[in-house]
Amino acid sequence: MNVGKLNEMFRYLFASTLAIGLCGQAIAVEWNVSLWGERRAFTEHVEKLAELVSQKTAGEFELNLDYGGLANNRENLDGIAAGAFEMAQFCAGYHPEKNPTLSVLELPFLGVQTLEQEIAVSQAVYSHPAVVADMARWNATLLMPSPLPQYNLIGVGPAPDSLYALRESNVRATGGIADAMRVLEANPVAIPATEVREALDNETIRAVAFAPHAHLSFDTLEGADWWTENLNPGTVNCPVVVNNGALEALSPDHRAALLSSVDEALDHYLNYYDSVTMQRWEPSLQAAGVEKVSFNPVALEVLRDASVESAVSAWVMRNMVLGVPARDLLEFVRTAVRETAPAQ
């Protein structure tokens, strides 16, 4: 066993000892939670989780939410592996090489229609043995998803009058959305969300692929000229994870308080996204004078077919070489999408 692993074990053995009083009573436990940006729709479930855990334990178990002070957003999984903090949020598309199994949820045009379905499909995949093993390499357990709607582009300059007009454009996109952009012969650029507004202002990129809350949170509407209302190439998967050692060190009551709060935290998230974020979206577009762009449905169908033929097939082959059961995972996701589809 390496020195780092031993140090981590001692750390959590010490923490669990401190968490139990001489009479067997649990005393205060604090977890540090690594997020980024600022509080927004994307983090509302984590905020609610912290509130619920504190309430259920009468303040004996507290989640200290930190927005950017603990790690860079692309280093949160590394921080979890090292035991630098106990909980974190990350996006699979930031580093698919670190979490190849999760990247299946970011493939383009999977057909997920609602946030509720996004939760159901994500949770099914999170319990898949290959995904559990993938996360175990980082000493991590997947706690809950951060369900996001379909992404669309906000851009500057002349509005594209067809999908072809996006050819050779620099577009901020990650994961499967980046793959869809490559099918369009656009140039996907993976830059942090916090740097996107500056990149649009100086025209380093022509467009950015975000969900509505992120367009609002990172001010991409300011100075934007157009928005694609029906491109819908896919979404990103951004789970909340916990360090395995920290989870194992919790008392039974604290562990129950954490795990039993997940569903309520996700319900709060869904309500917030619908009643706050989406209620702001249309008025914000209008106030900013952003032109809506709607692409031809036939052209979109061609793009979907081409993305499945190239991007999805390439993902399968690339990950099979790495020993990932990619074909099985893809079929697992497609089955989960079919089984959780909203009733028509």
Residues 19, 255: contact at Cβ < 8 Å? Answer: no
**Torsion from C-alpha of 117, 123, 128, 130, nearest 10 degrees:** 100
Residues 164, 238: contact at Cβ < 8 Å? Answer: no
Q: What is the mean pLDDT of residues 198-218?
A: 93
Query: pLDDT tens, 7-65?
Result: 554 455 445 444 444 344 556 899 999 999 999 999 999 999 999 999 999 999 999 99
Query: pLDDT tens, 213-246?
Result: 899 989 999 989 999 999 999 999 999 999 999 9
Task: Kindly provide the b/e burial profile for residues 276-293, where b requires at least 16 CB atoms within 10 angstroms of the residue's own CB.
Answer: ebeeebeeebeebebeeb
Query: pLDDT tens, 124-173?
Result: 999 999 999 999 999 999 999 999 999 999 999 999 999 999 999 999 99
Q: What percent of the chain has pLDDT over 70?
A: 92
What does the pLDDT read at residue 93?
87
What does the pLDDT read at residue 18?
47
What does the pLDDT read at residue 28?
87
What does the pLDDT read at residue 2?
52
Residues 150, 160: contact at Cβ < 8 Å? Answer: no
Residues 177, 108: contact at Cβ < 8 Å? Answer: yes
Burial status of residue 132 (CB atoms within 10 A of its CB: 0-12, 13-18, 19 or more)? middle
- Tell me the C-alpha distance between 139 and 88, whole Å: 12
pTM: 0.86
